[in-house]
């Protein structure tokens, strides 16, 4: 097929792709569809999307067909001294036959991924004059990238930029609506208490109790706001996972020490059961710690007095598993499918403990960002186990 015929066939393909991109508002699903489409229309070996953070002035890999998710999410590309950075700065496409002969090539990515790059075609993702990121394809099969490939990728990039921004706006508006709804309860409580404080017949003891209530609700609002921002960043794909290799036992021990005073209130024991020769794990240390703290906090919160929380870990050929088990109340079966939904709380335990309803959603986002999964097992009156599966990494 000649160049014109390939171009025409590519445009027909793009029409079908446009319908596909418009059919989802899930950002992760959308990004994967875009890179797969980029490979199809350019006959490339691999494709990737780097999203641009204007505040930090840096690009970061969000999805790539040639990298596993946990490796890709930790890679940051500077604006200066990279081809992708040049594309963002100049808002123009780049087509290169041999990247190793180009002074702009940022070879640290190749060193980390061990995936050789030869030819490259990259286009800016621009929506309403705003640079969203960069779409790149590398290593065209049996040839160099052509002008027709560049034209097709520019059209796909324009479609992708709109779709990405729409997905982000949908996620933000959905999350903000839920957040505002959650704000109403503590704000209403604070409003009522402050009104009562102005009443002259209130005793000093009553006033002190009301002030404590205001303090409690203020702390709850602060926690809710912090959790909301964490989740918003995770869902938008702007959180970068910085992977390192480290020993797991010290992280678990540090988490136990942080949660010990809370556990002591109900004489709950926190146990760590992990083999002495457990190999190092590769993950984002701080993000994994946040997962552990959230899960242990819940295990304490919904436990019986004198109960226990047990942290265990195991390693297989492909992944490793971290489990947080408690001897607590358990979760009704009908609630299990909803546990990881934003702001979801088990209705039967509304009065048992306060919370934002965002902790498990944050855990799932962090674990998914590492390329892993999280599941739950529970039996009423017997306890609950949250089991995290994470890839072994390099």
Burial class (CB in 10 A: 0-12, 13-18, 19+), 317: exposed
Asked if residue 175 lies in contact with residue 155, where contact means CB atoms within 8 angstroms, the answer is no
Residues 155 and 265 in one domain: no
Q: What is the pTM of this model?
A: 0.62
Residues 140 and 262 in one domain: no
Residues 270 and 140 in one domain: no
Residues 28 and 132 in one domain: yes
Picking from 138, 95, 146, 149, the residue whose alpha carbon sits closest to that of residue 116 is 138
Cα(36)–Cα(356) distance, integer angstroms: 37
Domain boundary among 115, 139, 166: 166
Residues 152 and 248 in one domain: no
Residues 257 and 391 in one domain: yes
Cα(120)–Cα(105) distance, integer angstroms: 10
Cα(41)–Cα(60) distance, integer angstroms: 24
215 C-beta neighbours (distance < 10 Å), count: 10
Cα(375)–Cα(388) distance, integer angstroms: 7
* Residue 224 falls inside a structural domain: no
Domain boundary among 151, 166, 181: 166
Residues 50 and 156 in one domain: yes
The pLDDT assigned to 194 comes to 82
DSSP string computed for 61-77: EEEETTS-HHHHTT-EE
Residues 156 and 248 in one domain: no
* Residue 180 falls inside a structural domain: no
Residues 130 and 8 in one domain: yes
Q: Looking at the 3D structure of the chain, how many domains does it have?
A: 2
- As given in the structure block, the two tokens for residue 79 are 């604006």
* Residue 206 falls inside a structural domain: no
Residues 115 and 264 in one domain: no
* Residue 364 falls inside a structural domain: yes
Q: What is the pLDDT along the chain (394 residues), one digit of tens a residue?
A: 555 556 666 666 777 677 667 667 677 788 888 888 899 889 999 998 988 888 778 888 878 887 654 555 557 888 888 999 999 999 999 999 999 999 999 888 887 777 888 999 999 999 888 898 999 999 998 889 999 899 889 988 888 888 888 877 776 666 676 667 667 767 777 887 787 888 888 788 888 888 888 887 787 777 777 777 777 777 766 677 788 899 999 999 999 999 999 999 999 999 999 988 899 998 989 999 999 999 999 999 899 999 999 999 999 888 899 999 999 989 888 888 888 887 777 765 655 556 667 889 889 989 988 889 999 999 998 999 999 999 886 4
Residues 384 and 248 in one domain: yes
* Residue 226 falls inside a structural domain: no
DSSP string computed for 267-300: T-EEEEE--TTPPPEEE-HHHHHHHHHHHHHHHH
- By residue range, what is the domain housing residue 31? 3-166
The pLDDT assigned to 393 comes to 66
* Residue 371 falls inside a structural domain: yes
Residue 97 in 3-state DSSP? coil
The pLDDT assigned to 159 comes to 86
Q: For residue 84, what is the domain's CATH number?
A: 3.30.450.40
* Residue 211 falls inside a structural domain: no
Residues 32 and 137 in one domain: yes
Cα(57)–Cα(349) distance, integer angstroms: 44
DSSP string computed for 106-163: -THHHHHH------EEEEEEEETTEEEEEEEEEEETTS---HHHHHHHHHHHHHHHHH
31 C-beta neighbours (distance < 10 Å), count: 23
Domain boundary among 166, 182, 213: 166
* Residue 333 falls inside a structural domain: yes
């Amino acid at each position: 097929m000649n160049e014109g015929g390939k171009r025409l066939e590519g445009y027909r393909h793009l029409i079908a792709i446009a319908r596909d991109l418009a059919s989802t508002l899930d950002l992760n699903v959308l990004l994967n569809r875009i890179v797969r489409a980029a490979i199809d229309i350019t006959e490339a070996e691999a494709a990737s999307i780097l999203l641009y953070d204007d505040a930090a002035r840096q690009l970061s890999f969000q999805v790539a067909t040639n990298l596993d998710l946990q490796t890709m999410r930790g890679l940051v590309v500077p604006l200066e001294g990279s081809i992708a950075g040049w594309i963002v700065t100049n808002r123009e496409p780049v087509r290169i036959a041999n990247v190793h002969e180009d002074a702009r090539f940022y070879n640290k990515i190749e060193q980390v991924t061990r995936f050789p790059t030869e030819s490259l075609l990259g286009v800016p993702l621009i929506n309403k004059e705003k640079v969203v990121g960069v779409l790149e394809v590398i290593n065209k099969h049996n040839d160099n990238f052509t002008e027709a490939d560049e034209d097709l990728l520019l059209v796909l990039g324009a479609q992708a930029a709109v779709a990405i921004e729409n997905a982000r706006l949908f996620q933000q508006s959905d999350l903000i609506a839920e957040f505002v709804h959650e704000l109403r309860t503590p704000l209403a409580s604070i409003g009522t208490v402050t009104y009562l404080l102005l009443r002259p017949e209130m005793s000093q003891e009553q006033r002190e109790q009301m002030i404590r209530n205001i303090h409690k609700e203020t702390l709850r609002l602060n926690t809710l706001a912090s959790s909301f921002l964490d989740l918003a960043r995770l869902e938008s794909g702007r959180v970068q996972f910085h992977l390192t290799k480290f020993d797991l036992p010290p992280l678990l021990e540090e988490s136990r020490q942080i949660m010990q005073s809370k556990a002591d209130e109900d004489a709950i024991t926190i146990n760590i059961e992990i083999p002495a020769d457990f190999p190092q794990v590769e993950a984002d240390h701080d993000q994994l710690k946040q997962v552990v703290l959230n899960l242990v906090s819940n295990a304490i919160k919904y436990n019986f007095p004198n109960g226990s929380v047990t942290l265990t870990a195991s390693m297989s050929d492909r992944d490793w598993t971290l489990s947080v088990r408690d001897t607590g109340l358990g979760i009704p079966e009908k609630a299990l499918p909803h546990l990881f939904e934003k702001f979801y709380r088990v209705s039967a335990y509304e009065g048992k403990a306060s919370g934002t309803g965002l902790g498990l959603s944050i855990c799932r986002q962090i674990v998914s960002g590492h390329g892993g999964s999280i599941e739950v097992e529970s039996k009423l009156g017997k306890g609950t186990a949250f089991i995290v599966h994470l890839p072994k990494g390099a």
